[in-house]
Amino acid sequence: MHSSSIVYGGTIGSSLSTKQDMTGAKRKLVIDATLCCGCLSCMINCSQFQEHESSLFSARIRVTLEPFDGVHRLVWCRQCDEAECALNCPQQAIKYESVKGYYYVDYGLCVECRTCVQVCPYGAMMINETQNCVIKCDLCAASEPMCVRSCFTGALWYGTEDDHPDRMLSRYFFRERGDTR
C-alpha cells in the first residue's frame, strides 16, 4: 500500500471563484480550439444549467463542428474590459458584476432590441429562439462554469491565458488520485 506518485495536479479551477487569480490577473473563459474534441458537452451542459433543458440552441457558448477538416470553431464571450454589448445597450441592461468579473443581462431592463447581438465583435451575444430572448455567458455567475467543468481536453479553461494545464494530457487525469492500491 502506497500513496500514488502520479502527478494529477489537483482540482482545476474550482477552488478559485473570484475575479482574480492569485497573480492578480482577471479570470475568464479561456479557449484553445485546437484542443476541442467536438463532444459538445460544453453546449449541452450550459443549456441544461442555464435554461434547464438539453439543447444546442440555448447554449451561451457555440461550437461549430468541422468533422472533415480539422479544428472546430468556437464562439464565446470574452467578458471584455471594454464590452461593446454593455457600452451600446440603449437600456443599460447589460451589467457588470464587479466582484466576480462578468457581464450579465438584466432582463427587467432588456427590451430585446438586439443591439448587443449586432455590436459584439465575437458573435457571443446569443439568442434563445424558444424563449425569444438574448442570452449571454455569465461564467455561471463565476462558480466554475459548467462548460469548463464538462470539458475533458482542456480546450476550455477558467483562468488566465498563462495558467493552462498540460495541453497534451486529458484533463480528467489531472485529478488527485489520492488513494492507495
Contact residues for another protein, defined by CB under 8 A = 6, 34-41, 44-45, 47-49, 51-58, 64-65, 67-71, 129-130, 149-153, 167-170, 172-173, 175, 177-181
Across-strand partners of 133?
128
Question: Which CB, 113 or 169, lies closer to another protein?
Answer: 169
Is-contact 134 116, C-beta < 8 A? yes
Residue 135 phi/psi, 5-degree rounding, is -135, 150
How would you class 49 by CB atoms within 10 Å of its CB: exposed for 0-12, middle for 13-18, buried for 19 or more? middle
CB 145 to another protein: min, Å: 13
Question: Which CB, 24 or 178, lies closer to another protein?
Answer: 178
Question: Which CB, 89 or 156, lies closer to another protein?
Answer: 156
CB 154 to another protein: min, Å: 9
Beta strands 156-159 and 94-97, pairing class: unpaired
